Amino acid sequence: MLRGTFANSFTVVKFIFRRERIVTTAWILALVLFTMGVAPAMANMFPDMASRSQFAASFNNPIMIAMMGPIYGADNYTAGAMYGGMMLLWYAMAVAIMNIFFVVRHTRADEQAGRVEVVRSLPTGRLANLNATMISALIINVVLGLLTGLGLAVLGIEDMGFAGSMAYGAATAAIGLVFASIAALFSQITSNASGATGLSFVSIGVFYMIRAAGDMQGNEIISCISPLGLVLRTQAYVQNNIWPSLVLFATAIVISAVAYKLNSIRDLGQGFVAARPGRATASPLLKSSFGLTWRLLRNMLIIWAVVMFILGASYATVIGDISSFIGDSPEYMEVIGVPVDQLAALSEADQAKLIVDSFGTFVTLMMTIVAIVPLINAIMKLRSEERDGRAENVLTRAVRRCRYMSGFVILAYVFSVIIQFLTASGLYVVATSVAGDANPFTYTGLLQAFFAFLPALWVMIGFTVLVVGLLPKATTIVWAYFGVVAFTSFMGRLVMPDWMLNITPLHFVSQPQPMQDFVIDYTPLIIMTGIAAVLTAIGIISYSKRDMITS
């Protein structure tokens, strides 16, 4: 009976890897190359024990612990201890995102598209599809963990030996499996892919907050309730604990077992939480193609608007203390762009202002990078509607393709303005409540700084439209380019030659300079706006002329 339930699971595994040969390979390569690229850069930035100890001391406060996790090995703060403490949490969340997309894509999304029904019609067991997905996730995470550990080990960085690197890699694989199992569970509970993906992402946020609360209080029990807190207890390159990975692996088995059980007792195509029934008649807005587009993107855009406002607010909470715990770390000041050579000639008050201004410029750039994600997703939704065959239902009516695509494009462009406005507002409002009259930012200045990035955001939108319209089967190019943009913006100026920075539109945007009036150079902004318009036009024209591609 049990064997029949899982019959031909490994045959389905072959199908899954055939489909994933590009997407998952790109994910793994991007993650491994990124983590290997950051390690030597960080080691070069903090070459000696004195600089690393200063960095540890500046980060050993409740606010930074809530954001980054506790500092381990501070008494002997090696390059490995710094790397493990600074990178493992964020790397774990990136791996979690990869696993959520992978599992939902091959469970709930395939079920929603009718592909699981086709698999079930063949001589396969009832649980073969879910079982094959989890086996594939296991293989992918083991490969990722091994490549990550071996990649870090072969760099030959002092204090980043084989044992610590493999502990780092094992923790990576274990946390990936936990979130793969969580995504599998939500795929049984919800009745659509967006719901499963959304709840899985919410779980990342919830676990992050639980970990932050436990770490701030120094409460190990609370911290270890969260998988993200547990993975940090690996203490890679310090203690190299293996037990957190074993506990995470056991957790993944338990959650997966629940998902298997739910999958075995529910009807195909149904979820345990039924979809909310819609209205009996469509609203006037929904009767237009633009109204349909708004309905498809509404929830995602609203959620991201709230997230960006909160993100801006969260950075504002540290404004009052930022000069004190950054001022003691010349290396960290270099990261955020503080002109350290100017500090000696300034008074103490001007030094604090210089640090705060540089931090504000750095935060503006970082939050703008995050804002690119929903804008890309808004255009990518058009591609998913086409791939799932729903776009054809719209285009068989009296709706021109250019008009249909323009709805997604217009919403992306409009939302780029809204998201920058809300992020700036969140930063200003909370900074005012925290610092009062001492708030170093003006509302007008923040709006100028954030809006200056709009042409760069428009270039990213235009590039996405171009790829969707011209190369619909190669949309992974968009995310690959986004990864390059994010890396070059964050670490590029420290580890890459200047000429390579020109590949990102963010590099050409004028940014506020510390202790100076903000002067915007409009020439590159006008040029980027023109480039965005050309890319968008080519993408829309290409979409209107090509065939619909549902694969």
Give the range among 83-87, 312-316, 419-423 with minimum mean pLDDT.
Answer: 312-316
- Which whole-number Å values give the CA distances from 242 to 78, 140, 169, 231, 234, in the listed order? 20, 20, 11, 10, 6
CA angle 115, 196, 543 (to 5 degrees): 60
% of the chain surpassing 70 pLDDT = 83
**pLDDT tens-digit readout, 30-89:** 889 888 888 887 777 777 787 777 777 766 666 667 777 888 887 888 888 888 888 898
Per-residue model confidence (pLDDT) at position 59: 67
- Residue linked to tokens 């807005």: 285
Q: What phi and psi, each to the nearest 5 degrees, are found at residue 39? A: -55, -55
| Residue 495 predicted with pLDDT over 60 | no
Mean pLDDT (whole number) for 215-233: 89
Per-residue model confidence (pLDDT) at position 1: 41
Question: Would you state the structure tokens that stand for residue 352, as one six-digit string?
Answer: 């604090």
Find all residues with CB under 8 Å of 499, minimum gap 6, and list them: none
Per-residue model confidence (pLDDT) at position 123: 85
What gap in Å lies between CA 424 and CA 449, rounded to an integer? Answer: 9
**pLDDT tens-digit readout, 180-203:** 999 999 999 988 887 888 889 889
Band of residue 321 on the pLDDT scale cut at 50, 70, 90: low
Q: Are 141 and 175 in contact (CB under 8 A)?
A: no
Mean pLDDT (whole number) for 506-521: 66
**pLDDT tens-digit readout, 126-171:** 889 999 999 999 999 999 999 999 999 998 888 888 999 999 999 9
Most confident residue range from 282-291, 325-334, 488-497, 521-530: 521-530
Question: Would you state the structure tokens that stand for residue 145, as one six-digit string?
Answer: 């963990």
Q: What phi and psi, each to the nearest 5 degrees, are found at residue 77? A: -80, 85
| Residue 348 predicted with pLDDT over 70 | no
% of the chain surpassing 90 pLDDT = 29
What gap in Å lies between CA 118 and CA 46, rounded to an integer? Answer: 56
Average pLDDT, rounded, for the chain: 83
Per-residue model confidence (pLDDT) at position 491: 61
**pLDDT tens-digit readout, 4-22:** 688 888 999 999 999 888 8
- Residue linked to tokens 């007792």: 265
What gap in Å lies between CA 463 and CA 452, rounded to an integer? Answer: 19
Residues in the chain: 551
Per-residue model confidence (pLDDT) at position 272: 78
**pLDDT tens-digit readout, 88-105:** 988 898 899 899 999 999
Mean pLDDT (whole number) for 324-347: 56
Mean pLDDT (whole number) for 451-458: 92
* Packed helices 23-45 and 128-153: angle between N→C axes, nearest 10 degrees: 30
Quote the pTM value.
0.77
Within the chain, what is the greatest distance between any pair of CA atoms? Answer: 79
What gap in Å lies between CA 266 and CA 13, rounded to an integer? Answer: 22
DSSP result, 320-359: GGHHHHHTT-HHHHHHTT--GGGGGGS-HHHHHHHHHHHH
Band of residue 547 on the pLDDT scale cut at 50, 70, 90: confident
| Residue 320 predicted with pLDDT over 60 | no
Per-residue model confidence (pLDDT) at position 83: 87
Which one is predicted more confidently, 116 or 325? Answer: 116
State the CB neighbour count (10 A cutoff) for residue 548.
Answer: 13
DSSP result, 78-114: -HHHHHHHHHHHHHHHHHHHHHHHHHHHHTHHHHHHT
Question: Would you state the structure tokens that stand for residue 347, as one six-digit string?
Answer: 């008074």
Per-residue model confidence (pLDDT) at position 275: 67
Mean pLDDT (whole number) for 334-345: 57
What gap in Å lies between CA 316 and CA 42, rounded to an integer? Answer: 26
Band of residue 536 on the pLDDT scale cut at 50, 70, 90: very high
Band of residue 539 on the pLDDT scale cut at 50, 70, 90: very high
Q: Are 285 and 291 in contact (CB under 8 A)?
A: yes
